[in-house]
Amino acid sequence: CEEGWHYDRTGGNCYMINENVLSWEVARTHCMAFKGDLASITGPDDKAFIRELTMSSTSSVFWIGGNEINQSSGWTWSDGSPFSFLDWDVGKPDNSVDPEWCIETLKVRNSQWNDQDCSKQLPSICQKKCKHCVLIFMFNTGMCTK
């Protein structure tokens, strides 16, 4: 992965925490400027890697790519990954401040999810596929190398 990104060899993804507090939409635009998207969490391995990554941050809540901005589609991941793995915190989604159409991950709640007002200003987690990798370098160094 490029500098500042962290390689998850299980999923073959690179992740980066953006500590700048941004709305969900602006945070996504920022990730897309790096040819990525907000992080999708599609299984326990994704979750474990991302949770570990967030532990290195002083922030406690982060935008990820889950949203139901398109109400007719229901909950989806912004990068198009299937929305099959669910990790809602107890009692979520709750639309407590209606509407809450974006997902934040809560470090103090075992990184489980809350639906949140998309205009809230939060740090975020970007993700992109590790491309142009040479397998031997990945296993030797844990880094994605061209």
Residues that bind Ca ion (CB under 5 A): 94, 96, 100, 114-115
Query: Minimum Å distance from CB 63 to Ca ion?
Result: 13
Q: Which residue is nearest to Ca ion (CB)?
A: 115
Cis bond before residue 82 (omega within 30° of 0):
no
Query: Minimum Å distance from CB 37 to Ca ion?
Result: 22
Closer residue to Ca ion (CB): 33 or 90: 90
Closer residue to Ca ion (CB): 37 or 115: 115
Closer residue to Ca ion (CB): 87 or 115: 115
CA 141 to centroid of chain Cα atoms: 24
Query: Minimum Å distance from CB 33 to Ca ion?
Result: 28
What is the dihedral sign for C-alpha 120, 123, 129, 132? positive
Closer residue to Ca ion (CB): 97 or 134: 97
Query: Minimum Å distance from CB 15 to Ca ion?
Result: 24
Measure the N-to-C terminal CA separation of the chain; round to a whole number of Å.
Answer: 9
* Alpha-carbon gap, residue 99 to 86, rounded angstroms: 20
Rounded to 10 degrees, the C-alpha dihedral 48/7/28/91 comes to: 0
